[in-house]
Amino acid sequence: MISRAITVGFMMAALWVPINQASAEEFTVKLQNIEDRKAVFATVESIDRVLARARIGGTIGALGIDEGSKVAAGQKIAVITDKKLPLKLKSLNAKLNSLTAQRKLAQTDLKRAKSLRRTGAASQARLDSTQTKLDIVKSEIASLGAERSIVIQQIQDGEVLAPASGRVLSVAITNGSVVMPGETIAVIAKDSYILRLRLPERHAGFLKIGDKVQVSQRGKVGADMVADATIQQVYPEMKQGRVIADVKVSGLGTYFVGERTRVHIATGSRAVIAAPKKFFFQRYGITFAKLKSGDEVILRLGLPVKIANEDAIEVLSGLKAGDILVTP
The alpha carbon of 165 is separated from its chain's Cα centroid by a whole number of angstroms, namely: 12
One-character DSSP codes across 52-95? EE-SS-EEEE-----TT-EE-TT-EEEEEE-THHHHHHHHHHHH
Q: Tell me the CB-side half-sphere exposure of residue 151, using CA atoms within 13 A.
A: 18
Q: Give the whole-angstrom CA distance, residue 123 versus residue 248.
A: 84
According to DSSP, the residues that pair with 296 across neighbouring strands are: 290
For strands 214-216 and 300-307, give the pairing: unpaired
Looking at domain 51-77+158-190, does it have CATH number 2.40.50.100? yes
Sheet holding 166-171, edge to edge: 49-53, 184-190, 166-171, 70-71
pLDDT band at 94 (very low <50, low <70, confident <90, very high): very high
Who wins on pLDDT, 35 or 22? 35
Mean pLDDT for all residues in the chain: 82
pLDDT band at 224 (very low <50, low <70, confident <90, very high): low
Check if the beta carbon of residue 54 is closer than 8 Å to that of residue 160: yes
Could you tell me where the DSSP H helices lie in the chain? 2-23, 84-119, 124-156
Who wins on pLDDT, 146 or 229? 146
Mean pLDDT of 156-179: 89
Inform me whether the pLDDT recorded for 182 exceeds 80: yes
Q: Which pLDDT belongs to residue 219?
A: 60
What's at 44, amino acid-wise?
Answer: V
The alpha carbon of 8 is separated from its chain's Cα centroid by a whole number of angstroms, namely: 73
Using CB atoms within 10 A of its CB, is residue 279 exposed (0-12), middle (13-18) or buried (19+)? buried
Residue 35 host element (H or E) = strand 31-46
Q: What is the pLDDT of residues 232-252, one digit of tens each?
A: 888 888 888 888 888 888 777
According to DSSP, the residues that pair with 81 across neighbouring strands are: 59
Closest CA to 232 of 45, 76, 8, 107: 45
Which of 6-15, 19-28, 176-185 has the lowest average pLDDT? 6-15
Q: Which pLDDT belongs to residue 227?
A: 56
Q: Which pLDDT belongs to residue 17?
A: 40
Q: What is the model's pTM?
A: 0.56
Judged by DSSP in three states, 97 sits in helix
Fold of 83-157: Helix Hairpins (1.10.287)
Inform me whether the pLDDT recorded for 190 exceeds 60: yes
Check if the beta carbon of residue 230 is closer than 8 Å to that of residue 213: yes
Which of 96-105, 173-182, 264-273, 282-291 has the lowest average pLDDT? 264-273
Inform me whether the pLDDT recorded for 165 exceeds 60: yes
What's at 209, amino acid-wise?
Answer: I
Q: What is the pLDDT of residues 191-217, one digit of tens each?
A: 778 888 888 888 877 788 888 888 877
Q: What is the pLDDT of residues 31-90, one digit of tens each?
A: 888 877 778 888 888 888 889 999 988 999 888 888 888 899 889 999 999 888 889 999
| Per-domain boundaries in the chain | 26-47+192-326, 51-77+158-190, 83-157
Radius of gyration (Cα) for the chain, nearest Å? 42
Q: Which pLDDT belongs to residue 19?
A: 39
Closest CA to 265 of 1, 8, 42: 42
According to DSSP, the residues that pair with 271 across neighbouring strands are: 33
Q: Give the whole-angstrom CA distance, residue 71 versus residue 76.
A: 9
Place domain 26-47+192-326 in its CATH homologous superfamily: Efflux pump adaptor protein, beta barrel domain (2.40.30.170)
Q: What are phi and psi of 270, to 5 degrees?
A: -150, 160
Q: What is the pLDDT of residues 114-137, one digit of tens each?
A: 888 788 777 888 888 888 888 898
